[in-house]
Amino acid sequence: MEIAAWQAVPDPDFRLRRLPIELMATQEYFDRCGNNNVAWLERVFTEVIGHVPSAYEQEQWMARYAEVRYSRTEVLNQMSIVAGRS
């Protein structure tokens, strides 16, 4: 999300809750994961869900990531919803 769009959201609490997701979705964060989908997904899963993904979880989230056309923001949004349910 661009800074101008982020600042346009009127609720500062919402913006602060979204900040980690927005940062993990950036190209810079992806690059720090070796510009690698599997490594990036494992790292964000660990951060959002709270544990290293099992092989099954990794496979399921990689399939979901592909379904959303490798949108890092979208897969992080979905992951955060799942994390909120646990």
Q: What is the CA radius of gyration of the chain?
A: 13
By the 8 A CB rule, do 3 and 45 touch?
A: no
How many alpha carbons fall within 13 Å on the CB side of residue 84?
7
pTM comes to 0.81
In the chain, domain spans: 3-85
**pLDDT score at 86:** 46
Q: How confident is the prediction along the chain (86 residues), in pLDDT tens digits per residue?
A: 566 665 666 777 777 778 899 999 999 999 999 999 999 999 999 999 999 999 999 999 999 999 999 999 999 999 999 998 64
